[in-house]
Structure 1
Amino acid sequence: MADAAVSDTRKAQRVLVAADKFKGSLTAVEVAERITAGLRRVLPDLEVEALPVADGGDGTVAAAVAAGFQRREVRVAGPLGDEVTAAFALREGTAVVEMAEASGLQRLPAGVFAPLTASTYGSGELLRAALDAGARTIVFGVGGSATTDGGAGMLSALGARFLDAAGEPVPPGGGGLAELATADLSGLDPRLAEIELVLASDVDNPLTGPKGAPAVYGPQKGASPEDVAALDSALAHFAKVLQGPAGAKAAEYAASPGAGAAGGIGYGALLLGARFRPGIEVMLDVLGFAPALDRADLVITGEGSLDEQTLHGKAPAGVAAAARAADKDVVAVCGRLALPPQTLGRAGFRRAYPLTDAEPDVAKCIAEAGPILERVAERIARDFLT
């Protein structure tokens, strides 16, 4: 357990549980359920509000559904073109779409990467389904993608045409863009001009170059050095050809921070008029975090690992910052803790409770995360609520 050494020892009356998933062990919903169970084992009548959170990546749709959005399912193309069932969330004209539902690494066969051929076409189909459902605002969470196609597949699903010198559609995936001769955006769904598209992302990489999507994220998707070079060249060519229908903004967008998000889908989103917002910031707004925070005296957040990466746009840091601004105590739970108390304090955390405090065996912490998390929550109840 790490304590941020804050002297205030107020006892909380109402608790808000706003944690992300423990990847590989527990979903955000399960984390909230386990924490609630542990707290109420000590204080059976404790008032607890559960608000599972996400930062725009994996689990974003599930968090929206837990917050009261309706889950909608649709058949779309996976990254290799096979049909998959993907979900988005909808409430009162606002849709939450998660790119990974259609185009994520988890949609690839086990152990198989397709850095040159994986396509975002299914993500475009998800966006189209949200439009068909009447969405006026679409929050598009990106992350965990299997693709590096600059959003070309997404744009194709929404009506764009990308043709080779023979007038045939180029092959799917980023590699196929090397054959691009003509780009036609005139067929893009006209409804896109009438809605607000918000890209929930913390990535500031441009489309190409040393800090571009292929160079930085391609290897995580199975790209060899040769693949990275081919993808970088193909995406640069893609942006050049797009100067025909899109004008100077095609090159401007390619150099923009965030264009390289999720294999360059940020670039495609910019061509659709998307507005970028930090993932956790927009998700807290969508999930109704502010009024829930107003009702709480103590906030419990967390994720699988609390480390330096947490401080750069991850859900617990966003929750802690908002809680600190509202003068609310916030503690964190995690599987692994790699931040010293001073850093935790500066980030707004009163204290952090790793599962390894309750169970030193890391393998058990992963395999039995739920029961161990309940024990940790009991400790929080005794430390802060009694």
Structure 2
Amino acid sequence: MAHPLDPAPSPKIVVAPDSFKSTASAADAAEWLAEGVRSVIRDAHIVLTPMADGGEGTSFLFEGERICLPTTTASGRLTEAEYTFHATSKTAYIDVAAASGLPAVEADPVPLTGDTYGTGVLIADAQTRGAERVVLGLGGTATIDGGTGILVALGVNPLDQAGYQLPPGGGALEHLAGFDTAKVNVPAGAMEWVLLTDTTAPATGPEGAAHVFGPQKGATEADIEVLDRGLARLCEVTEVDPSTPGLGAAGGVGIGLTWLSSMLHGDSSHVHILPGARVVADSNGLVEQVDGAALVITGEGRYDGQTGTGKVASVVGELAREAGAVFAVAAGRFDEQPADGTIAVTLPERAEVREQLLQAGAEIAVAYLNTSTVQG
């Protein structure tokens, strides 16, 4: 039995943030938030568990060799991109954002013409190294092409009614009539596909890829209607159900891949659309780590209406509540307020993201101590 004068046990604190776009990796964000916490709660037992939900930085969280090779951006410009290849399990972990991400074209968005060809190059390369399974992170893309850029990279060409190849991007998809599969890369297309989504959005409609994510990719209202019609046409030609939850992720990449896999295997059993944050939480041990935690901290660039559809903060929050831990979020901005009882800290406006996260960590620690004091 504990003696009344025995010191209180050190609180277990789990720090599990997402990356902060191009300013901080998930690992750096976790380290800096933890440093801020430790400046206040010096004896804390802190566990760092960097997170991702299928967006930028997801592939970095899995074990394997980092592969870097030349490819193209969403606008077709030459670039270099990395992915992770785990030879033992014959699995490639690829972020669509690595080649086809928004940051590379943010200054000059390409909502109608941007395509995922560069991601297809990474996929084809992974297959030549022995990959039989691709875990594809579907977040942070600049594209709404339904995955047709990947199809082109794998030897499948979308055609119009006259038999001519469609130009790149989702803007031309409403004229889709069929596909030329004479040169399809069968070994690559026949791999097992695990698609990690950061949203439950369907492919089309008011809650679909074009309407929900088009504006952040530079699409005007007129563009959005064109893109939505294009994705609807793609689903019609491929006979893929546009209402499938998560199919709107990464501009509908899952549409093209579901069709390709179904064509090669006879059904869609080799395509698995899964919530990215949950998969990562199972993989990196977060589910086990939150057990016995007093405080669980996450972070992301913006906490908004999309957060609750499967992004890191919502999943970490669910796990924290299930474990009975205090939950805290550090974000660059809050467009929506988290659930009651959540410690919400807005990053201070400072030039260095490290300093922002250090201060946020310290503020969370103070708020936690105040909360635990009030609760007894």
2:118 & 2:369 partners in 1: Cα distance?
48
Q: Does 2:350 match 1:354?
A: no
- Measured against aligned partners, the alpha-carbon deviations of 1:4-39 in whole angstroms (never above 9, x if no partner) come to xxxxxx854433211123456533222211122234
Please tell me whether the aligned partners of residues 299 and 331 of structure 2 are also in contact (alpha carbons under 8 angstroms): yes
- Measured against aligned partners, the alpha-carbon deviations of 1:202-250 in whole angstroms (never above 9, x if no partner) come to 434443444443344333323334333333344444444x3xxxxxxx2
Query: Matched residues, percent identical?
Result: 36
The residue type paired with residue 252 of structure 2 is G
- Measured against aligned partners, the alpha-carbon deviations of 1:338-370 in whole angstroms (never above 9, x if no partner) come to 6668x234xxxxx415146xx6xx457969414
Partner residue, 1:96: 93
Structure 1 residue 119: Cα displacement: 1.0
Query: What is the SS of the residue equivalent to 2:82?
Result: strand
Query: What is the SS of the residue equivalent to 2:253?
Result: helix
Please tell me whether the aligned partners of residues 12 and 298 of structure 1 are also in contact (alpha carbons under 8 angstroms): no
The residue type paired with residue 73 of structure 2 is G
Structure 1 residue 151: Cα displacement: 1.1
Q: Does 2:252 match 1:254?
A: no
TM-score by length of 1: 0.77
Please tell me whether the aligned partners of residues 10 and 44 of structure 2 are also in contact (alpha carbons under 8 angstroms): no
Partner residue, 2:142: 146
Partner residue, 2:317: 320
2:80 & 2:179 partners in 1: Cα distance?
29
Partner residue, 2:362: 375
Higher alpha-carbon deviation: 163-172 or 315-324: 163-172
2:179 & 2:361 partners in 1: Cα distance?
55
Greater helix proportion: 1
Task: Name the CA shift for 1:203/1:384 in 2 (closer, same or farther; >3 Å).
Answer: closer
Higher alpha-carbon deviation: 143-152 or 133-142: 133-142
Partner residue, 1:348: none
Q: Does 2:122 match 1:131?
A: no
2:256 corresponds to which of 262, 268, 271? 268
Please tell me whether the aligned partners of residues 119 and 172 of structure 1 are also in contact (alpha carbons under 8 angstroms): yes
Greater RCO, 1 or 2 (C-alpha within 8 Å, sep 6+): 1
Alignment coverage as a number of residue pairs: 355
2:136 & 2:20 partners in 1: Cα distance?
22
Structure 1 residue 308: Cα displacement: 4.8
Query: What is the SS of the residue equivalent to 2:118?
Result: helix
2:279 corresponds to which of 282, 288, 293? 282
Q: Could you list the runs of 5+ residues in structure 1 that have no partner in the other structure?
A: 1-9, 243-249, 346-350
Task: Name the CA shift for 1:384/1:293 in 2 (closer, same or farther; >3 Å).
Answer: same
Please tell me whether the aligned partners of residues 67 and 83 of structure 2 are also in contact (alpha carbons under 8 angstroms): yes
Please tell me whether the aligned partners of residues 199 and 269 of structure 1 are also in contact (alpha carbons under 8 angstroms): no
Partner residue, 1:112: 108
TM-score by length of 2: 0.79
Partner residue, 1:81: 76
1:374 & 1:220 partners in 2: Cα distance?
29
1:307 & 1:228 partners in 2: Cα distance?
21
Q: Does 2:3 match 1:15?
A: no
2:292 & 2:71 partners in 1: Cα distance?
40
Q: Could you list the runs of 5+ residues in structure 2 that have no partner in the other structure?
A: 1-7, 262-267
Query: What is the SS of the residue equivalent to 1:253?
Result: coil
Task: Name the CA shift for 1:334/1:352 in 2 (closer, same or farther; >3 Å).
Answer: farther
1:28 corresponds to which of 26, 29, 37? 26
List aligned pairs for 1:98-247, cutoff 5 A.
98-108=95-105, 110-164=106-160, 167-185=163-181, 187-192=183-188, 195-240=191-236, 242=237
Higher alpha-carbon deviation: 172-181 or 147-156: 172-181
Q: Does 2:301 match 1:310?
A: no
Task: Name the CA shift for 1:232/1:43 in 2 (closer, same or farther; >3 Å).
Answer: closer
The residue type paired with residue 141 of structure 1 is G
The residue type paired with residue 321 of structure 2 is R
